[in-house]
Amino acid sequence: GIAPSNEGRGYVLRRMLRRLVTRARRLGVEKPVMGEFIAGTVERMGEAYPELVANRAFVESIASGEEERFGATYRAGMTLFEQEVAKAKEKGSNVLTGNAAFRLHDTFGFQVQLTSELAEEEGLTVDDETFARLMQEQRQRGKDALKRGDHAGGVVGQIAAEAGPTEFLGYEHLSAEATVTGVVAEGARAEVASEGESVILVLDRTPFYAEGGGQVGDAGTIRTPGGVVQVTDTRPGPGGTTIHEGRVTAGEVRPGQEATAEVDAERRASTARSHTSTHILHHTVRRLLGEHARQAGSLVAPGRLRFDFSHFEAVPKDVLEEVEVIANARLAEDRPVIAYETTQEYARTQGAMALFGEKYGDIVR
């Protein structure tokens, strides 16, 4: 099933539920409507979809919770709308400003279609042009934020175009011989990086795991005949490259040099334990809260983890304590972890779950 959320199909469902609530309020219905709506749906569709009958209480609790939360937001949004309508009429204008429509959308979740309908009832139109511009500016700010975190991606992109992608060896090896295909020192492509300089190295092959899926990147050392780089972070780069961020701690490094890349084994092992813990925690949460409780984000780091998941209400303290007890008991069993590669289709038959927002190839691990 699908639960209301802020992304993908969950967001579509949330918009549908909010539109239903909005319609009810505009018709003058102030009492909760989801209970009766769900009851009618189950009555009409329950025979064809018996899972609706089996999970009726659960569906009602999710829908009613969504209505209750949006109800408060709707009232606050309507207050702002009424204030903006009054301002427009005081000025003798028949246009609701694009700024007001954007704020209603961004802060209170009012779709512009709803705002236009409400405005029309007041004899106003919405400044769609300004609204569209503000939405585009917001999207651009998001893109710019991603670019700021690109770690000299433009320069590395040039290196990738010339040298090709980085081969990853880290599942089998924590140390590997490689060639330095590119050096970026203090944000610019360089022919040499000297002791004390912040540096990005690109190798033709690497045992360093690049940050992904919530798991932090590896740290370690890269040694060349002329210098040593202490790697503090590893991230995916453009063109299939791997970015090794760090500082030159001795000598100097140059493109074209042979190198020995060595991952901090203790740190990797600690991160792997956190990774396994995340899977066990996810399984335990779904077991106690229901199949809808899916991972929505995580941080997997040495010695610690953060696990985000979707649920329609705050999890009671006693349930959280039960999750902790069960997960810790599973971890204490210290069962062996067996990793293997297979097709996506077979992995799903074995209970593997694809997480929304993650990209997978035909072969998965």
Q: Residue ranges per domain, the chain?
A: 8-147, 172-263, 268-364
**Is the pLDDT confidence value at 360 over 90?**
no
**CATH superfamily of this structure's domain 268-364:** Threonyl-trna Synthetase; Chain A, domain 2 (3.30.980.10)
Does 310 score more than 90 pLDDT?
no
Confidence band for 147, pLDDT divided at 50, 70 and 90: low
State which CATH number among 2.30.30.280, 2.40.30.130, 1.10.10.410, 3.30.565.10 fits the domain covering 172-263. Answer: 2.40.30.130
pLDDT in tens, 74-107: 888 999 999 999 999 999 999 999 999 999 988 8
- Per-residue H/E/C for the chain: CCCCCCCHHHHHHHHHHHHHHHHHHHCCCCCCCHHHHHHHHHHHHCCCCHHHHHCHHHHHHHHHHHHHHHHHHHHHHHHHHHHHHHHHHHCCCCEECHHHHHHHHHHHCCCHHHHHHHHHHCCCEECHHHHHHHHHHHHHHHHHHHHHCCCCHHHHHHHHHHHCCCEECCCCCCEEEEEEEEEEECCEECCCEECCCEEEEEECEECCCCCECCECCCCEEEEECCEEEEEEEEEECHHHCEEEEEEEEEEEECCCCEEEEEECHHHHHHHHHHHHHHHHHHHHHHHHHCCCCCEEEEEEECCEEEEEECCCCCCCHHHHHHHHHHHHHHHHCCCCCCCCCEEHHHHHHCCCCCCCCCCCCCEEC
